[in-house]
Structure 1
Amino acid sequence: MNKRIVLARLAGSSPVPEDFRLEEVAMPSPGPGQVLIRVDHVSLDPYIASTLRGRHMSGGVPVGGVIPGEAVGTVVESRGDGLAVGDRVICRAGWQQFTVADIAPAGVAQGPLSLAAQKITLPDGVSYTSLLGVLGMPGLTAWAGTVKMLKPIPGDTFVVSAATGPVGATAGQLAKRMGARVVGIAGGPQKCAFAVETLGFDACVDHRDPDWVAKLAAACPDSIDCYYDGVGGRILEGVLGHLALGARVVLVGMMEQYKAPAPLPGPNLVPIIKFRATVEGLVVYDHWPDMPNFRRRVAPLVRDGQVIVREERVAGLEAAPDALIRLMDGGNFGKMVLDI
């Protein structure tokens, strides 16, 4: 039998346990050109909550549909060339113990929403689960926004929100390697200490502190040249008033908006005009062709400990709903990975 978690009802502004249902169904069987995969690890990401509301650009989840998610698994049966029993693969399996997938043709690049199984090749010393975080979609999101769009130069002040999550932590470390002075924004003293002491950021501001905007200004005495934002809402508004002339801003996510039952009031955009700032939106799917180049450059940094990876592992399929709920409340610390 195959255990899986499906959408029990259309979710509201924030997921709750009643939105999910655990099922046992017959084991899937692969057809010609397909493989049966045992799902080992599944990525838990904020976009999943949007799919449960039918509001994500990748599509929604129908009631009764398996909750989506990128996964690392092991081939247990193969009916085609290119993958053999025991091969480790990455695929969009979602929240279930087993799945069937087509075999991705060798040498053919797969799009971000491809359902085909792709064989994993990584340098020694790099974990398979890194493909769900620092070397996967979160890492590519950080790479595109930092290296290709914001392009910090030595001496720039680079501020990043959600600074200890998989995207923010990677973005900040890449900016630091490019010579920028990096200031994080995170929720709580423990996360801020991690950003400075482990990730190597120059400073980190706790947005739960009532005086966090003033402390951000003190941490950025020369104003903010680059802002990488994955939160929006009050965090974005607090940062905008401290931009440098000609600042660059990349908007990659709106976590506060995702959780709101209705659109939030917009921030004051006068600083965009005042500081002649450039604001760009980032959709990681547009940068998917860069994935091989990104992994080729960043995987050695991960292997050698020059880019720090923190994962929060959650054990057992049944724990997935509560873990996603906690993630959406900001209760995670690092990249959240479900171990099936």
Structure 2
Amino acid sequence: MKTTQVQLASTPEGTPTEDNFSLVEVELPSLGESEVLCETQYLSLDPYMRSQISGRHLSGAVNPGQGMSGETIARVLESRSEAFAEGDLVRVMGGWQTHSIHAATEVAPVPSGDVPASYFLSALGMPGLTAYAGLIWQAKPQAGETVLIPAATGGVGAVAGQLAKSHGCRVIGIAGGAEKCRIATEELGYDACIDRLAGDVGEQLDALSPDGVDVFFDLVGGELLHQVSQRLKVGARVILCGMIAEYNAKERMPGPPPALWIIARATVYGLVVYDFESRRQEFVDAVAPLIDAGTLLVPEDMVEGLANAPALFCRLMRGENRGKAVVKVA
């Protein structure tokens, strides 16, 4: 059978456009022993994919003419493995396509329950695990501390901000535009949100938190990391998680002077979410009850149809998404 697939047509110069992608049909191989045929239900779009396009991500590169990679929620159409049956809902790196074939060892079951299946690509998936690992396991926030989270309404930021509030922290977000800031404060519970498009971020941060920041969950890198590193409290923790401000650039910015972290006696963590995969169930067990109780909201920016994946990804890379970017494929 054939699968409809989104391929990289050309490597973007700067911010990606829809012209950098093409929709093609690809013949799938025959199903082998211990393999499963999956039909994609939901596709996750994430900022790290821009680094894959640039050939700078540890998960590998995507070159022109190759299918885009990505995590999916899929339904098993056919199985030659005793571990999975037709109709099972699974989580797998199915990529930007309608159908895919995988070894059974590459597929994980999606737990049954009342939450939407797409949540296992957001708050109960990789973005949620990223937020939980970085904030709870690495930063270890304490009640009363000030936590600063840029990309405050995105897939990782929205979860991290709400987790920080649940631990009694004062949480300040940074987002692009008044509407995103409204979502952060009125819907996600942030104590305040800085509009990065409306004035100097450093000056706004000084006004909101003149004593500095205890935890900085850095999702963007770039100039913001420099600005916040000058405003750390003694004993601060800095979680280096993402560099979305630099993904569209050819060259990386130099990092902040180490003296800024030394003066603050700061602990700086590099977060790679794959290192915490073995603790995924522990994270799900902690976060799922918060979602069930309605105390942790899951904002999603969802479009229907695989053909609309490039447009949503381009909006994500322009910072125009509102919540976790997800494509409903089937």
* Normalised TM-score (structure 2): 0.95
The alpha carbon displacement at 1:28 in A equals 4.4
> Which among 121, 132, 149 is matched to residue 138 of structure 2?
149
SS at match of 2:76: strand
Say whether 1:119 aligns with 2:119.
no
**Cα distance in 1 for residues equivalent to 2:321 and 2:29:** 33
Contact 1:157 1:222 (C-alpha < 8 Å) held by counterparts: no
| Partner deviation per Cα, 1:154-201 (whole Å, 9 max, x = no partner) | 111111111111111111111111111111111111111111111111
Aligned residues: 328
Bigger Cα displacement from structure 2, 7-16 vs 309-318:
7-16
Distance 1:192 1:269, change over 3 A: farther
The alpha carbon displacement at 1:265 in A equals 4.4
Match of 1:334 in 2: 323
The alpha carbon displacement at 1:128 in A equals 0.7
Match of 1:292 in 2: 281
**Cα distance in 1 for residues equivalent to 2:287 and 2:29:** 36
* Structure 2 residue identity aligned to 1:275: A
**Cα distance in 2 for residues equivalent to 1:219 and 1:305:** 28
> Which among 155, 173, 179 is matched to residue 162 of structure 2?
173
Bigger Cα displacement from structure 2, 144-153 vs 9-18:
9-18
The alpha carbon displacement at 1:26 in A equals 2.8
Match of 1:112 in 2: none
The aligned runs of 1:3-42 (5 Å cut-off) are: 3-42=4-43
**Cα distance in 1 for residues equivalent to 2:187 and 2:10:** 41
Percent identity between the two aligned chains = 43
| Partner deviation per Cα, 1:285-312 (whole Å, 9 max, x = no partner) | 1111111110111112112211110001
Structure 2 residues without counterparts, runs of 5 or longer: none
Distance 1:267 1:209, change over 3 A: farther
> Which among 177, 181, 194 is matched to residue 192 of structure 1?
181
Match of 1:210 in 2: 199
* Structure 1 residue identity aligned to 2:30: S
Contact 1:12 1:53 (C-alpha < 8 Å) held by counterparts: no
**Cα distance in 2 for residues equivalent to 1:52 and 1:184:** 29
The aligned runs of 1:1-340 (5 Å cut-off) are: 1-104=2-105, 116-122=106-112, 124-340=113-329
SS at match of 2:247: helix
Q: CA RMSD in A?
A: 1.5
SS at match of 2:246: helix
* Normalised TM-score (structure 1): 0.92
**Cα distance in 1 for residues equivalent to 2:135 and 2:146:** 13
Contact 1:224 1:243 (C-alpha < 8 Å) held by counterparts: yes
**Cα distance in 2 for residues equivalent to 1:154 and 1:266:** 30
**Cα distance in 2 for residues equivalent to 1:44 and 1:141:** 15
Structure 1 residues without counterparts, runs of 5 or longer: 105-115
Contact 1:28 1:98 (C-alpha < 8 Å) held by counterparts: no
**Cα distance in 1 for residues equivalent to 2:109 and 2:42:** 15
Contact 1:28 1:36 (C-alpha < 8 Å) held by counterparts: no
Bigger Cα displacement from structure 2, 19-28 vs 192-201:
19-28
* Structure 2 residue identity aligned to 1:329: R
